[in-house]
Amino acid sequence: MVIYGVALLAICTLVGAFVGDLLGIVLGVESNVGGVGVGMLLLVLIVDALKKRGKLELKSQEGLNFWSSMYIPIVVAMSAQQNVVAAVKGGPLALIAGAGVVAVSFLLVPILSKIGQKQRSTEQVTPEYREEPVR
């Protein structure tokens, strides 16, 4: 049901916020560190695991797809709360880390697309096909 998508999103968001706050405490920063990312990753992993086990009906999958796409504006809104000016004034490490993450992401796109193409090509092979012996 569609309501499961809302519940799962809420649980992942709350767990992500909790983990992000714990990371902030451990790192000595008075802020949530990566909580939104943890929540999003958790949502993706749980949905994938449920799909593989066949535990999601089509309506549930549609609801989860909708709420997964709604998670992106949440990430943008939470990122807008961060004090970017203070981070940049604090030193070049924030800029270097940001540029490094973007560069690595760009480098991983072709690699991940090749992996996805290989998986699709192996799934398209039909094992039922057999040639009849010539008599």
Give the tens place of pLDDT for each residue, 24-80: 888 888 778 888 888 888 888 888 888 888 887 777 777 777 777 776 777 677 666
pTM equals 0.57
Please report whether residue 74 resides in a domain. yes
Residue 58 gets which letter from DSSP? H
Sequential DSSP letters for 57-85: -HHHHHHHHHHHHHHHHHHHHHHHTS-HH
Please report whether residue 114 resides in a domain. yes
- Split into its structural domains, the chain has a count of 2
Give the model confidence (pLDDT) of 96-125 as tens digits.
888 898 999 899 988 888 887 776 666 655
Please report whether residue 97 resides in a domain. yes
Residues 21 and 57 in one domain: yes
Contact assessment for residue 94 and residue 31, using Cβ atoms and an 8 Å cutoff: no
Containing structural domain, residue 87: 83-124
Residues 49 and 69 in one domain: yes
